[in-house]
Amino acid sequence: MTINQIDEQEPFITADGSTIRSILDLSNAPVEKQSLAEAILPPGGATERHWHKTSEEFYFILQGTGTVEIDGSKQEIRVGDAVLIPNGQWHQIIADSHTELRFLCCCAPPYSHEDTFFD
């Protein structure tokens, strides 16, 4: 059995520029097919537009508001929204509130820097 406490996980900066705390992934659990992390963007912050060759992602918004862009289509997001980002699609998330944008990010297969591609 593996149980990880989010507050015990060290934050790091991903290749797209967001601050991440891995909750369950290859670095801290016997994970094979997915990963779960908390991502935080400061007010007005944004990830760098990117795509993943193999990983499909889910974002679940916990705090704040923002805009998500997926392959040129933009949509406002808020607390309680779940966003599907299919693999191979360009995407970016932007925090547009006065508080930080905090969301869960699930990736299958697990997130890796090597599977993150930019312009």
- Confidence at 103, pLDDT banded by 50, 70, 90: very high
Distances (CA, A) of 52 to 8, 36, 104: 28, 16, 17
Q: Which structure tokens are listed for 5?
A: 């406490």
Residue 87's Cβ-side half-sphere holds a number of Cα atoms within 13 Å equal to 14
Q: What's the whole-model pTM score?
A: 0.93
* Domains, the chain: 14-96 (2.60.120.10)
pLDDT, tens digit, for every residue of 14-45? 877 789 999 999 999 999 999 999 999 999 99
pLDDT at 16: 79
pLDDT of the residue at 98: 86
